[in-house]
Structure 1
Amino acid sequence: MAGRKILVIDDSKVIRARVREMLPQGNFDVLEAKDGQEGIDLVRKEHPNLIMLDFLLPKLSGWDVFQQIQASEELRKIPLVVMSGRKEEVSGKISEPFEYFEFIEKPFEKGQLLEAIKSAFNKAKKPRQPLPSATPARTPQPKDTAPATAGADAAKVKALEQKVARMQAEMVALKKQVAQLKAFVIKKLK
């Protein structure tokens, strides 16, 4: 039985397999999750020694998974490598420099991956401020400021906008993955 666990959270089976192949042979298990919800469930259940997290994921985005990990005193100590085909998507949500996790841009080579993992372990050791123990109190909302249906409609519109944005991001990621797969096949055929 392996002593260490590496969790790869990516919706692309090709990327998950490629990361698995690039990792050095050793005494560890590689766990895989195909979406954000499955990923965060495995993080909580398995407490891996390293998390490789794609930023664009179905069901629960990589950003949402990242936020849940960071909201837990225990989970945020796990070394983390965030992967994305577009760095601006990550830096748009998390300001640089990335102090407590490592970022690697897809596509990447084995040496880049190993350096990112090494850096993630070093960054995870940095001391951090403890999380606040109590959640802030909610401010009371004034009553009758708008009909309940207007609020529900606005929430639906916002949810749809988020869904469209995720779908567009997934399409971009899929196009990039198809291009990577094509390049890989062409390279193998030569």
Structure 2
Amino acid sequence: MDPSRVLVVDDDDTVREVLRRYLTRDGHDVLEAADGPTGLRLVRSHHPDLIVLDLMLPGMDGLQVCREVRRTSTVPVIMLTALGQESDRVVGLEFGADDYVVKPFSPRELALRVSRVLQRSRGPAAPAAPGSAEVTSADGELSANALSRTARRGGDELALTSREFDLLHFLLAHPGQVFSRTELMEQVWGWSFGDQSTVTVHVRRLREKVEPDPTKPTRIVTVWGVGYRLDGDLRPADPG
């Protein structure tokens, strides 16, 4: 497999230098930008496989860059933020970021997150059981194929980010089961730590794409005090 191309957008020269060293050591090709407009131009011209994006940038902040990227691309975005309030971090997720890391951070930890996100986005999601690479809802309205990493609603392909796809595939593979945010963080994100609001925001974003009325969800329902459940029985897709 060709090396992954990672774009690091941060106005701190030291941060870019350290991340370049760690990511290059892991075999990635690294592009750099010190401001928002330059980062956005590199996204459009070089089509990176993943973006590490600082929230506070000159020229155009990270939220604006993320919003523009999401107009045309589902490339994974890991946002860097020095802001400590949960509401500030959630805004980045609402704008389409897949994850965030709070500064100061461990470069090794961030490099590991990059590798894990790239592995998920470039390869098949782990099927829940043999033969379950493709799963569909009981009414056949929703389907997700882990091999092609494509999802459909009523025959139309859905534009999902890497995390949104993983979450949908996992829920389709476990219909009727209730999962807490902690369990979803472990099973879908592969982390035993992290801010659970990440899960909340991704569920909200996924509902906007799969629910007939996202304000009154009937597919991904909330089980109050417990977590989330995909309603309906799993029906394996026709292998033919």
Measured in 2, the distance between the counterparts of 1:19 and 1:7 equals 10
The answer as to 2:122 corresponding to 1:124 is: no
Task: Indicate whether 1:86 and 2:83 are aligned.
Answer: yes
Q: Which amino acid aligns with 1:45?
A: S
- Taking structure 1 as the reference length, the TM-score comes to 0.56
Out of 81-90 and 3-12, give the one that drifted further: 81-90
Contact 2:66/2:96 (<8 A) preserved: no
Q: Distance in 2 between matches of 1:126 and 1:92?
A: 16
SS in 2 for 1:23: helix
How far apart, in 2, do the equivalents of 1:11 and 1:101 lie? 21
Alpha-carbon displacement from aligned partner over 1:2-37 (angstroms, at most 9, x marks no partner): 743110000111110011122252543211001000
Gaps of 5+ in 1: 131-190
Q: 1:110 aligns with which of 107, 112, 121?
A: 107
Tell me the SS of whatever aligns to 1:111. helix
1:40-59 paired onto structure 2 within 5 Å = 40-59=40-59
Q: Is the 8 A contact 1:11 1:34 kept in 2?
A: yes
- Contact 2:89–2:100 (CA under 8 A) maintained in structure 1: no
User: Which protein has the bigger strand share?
Assistant: 2
What 5-or-longer segments of structure 2 have no aligned partner?
A: 121-160, 166-205, 211-240
Contact 1:80 1:124 in 2 (8 A): no
Q: Look up the SS of the partner of 2:44 in the other structure.
A: helix
Question: What amino acid is the match of 2:65?
Answer: V
Q: TM-score, normalised by structure 2?
A: 0.45
1:118–1:25 Cα change, 3 Å: closer
SS in 1 for 2:53: strand
Q: Which has the higher contact order (CA 8 A, sep 6+)?
A: 1
* TM-aligned CA distance change 1:70 to 1:115, over 3 Å: same
The alignment-based identity, stated in percent, is 28
What's the counterpart of residue 65 of structure 1? Answer: 65
Counterpart in the other structure of 1:21: 21
Deviation at 1:107, TM superposition (A): 1.3
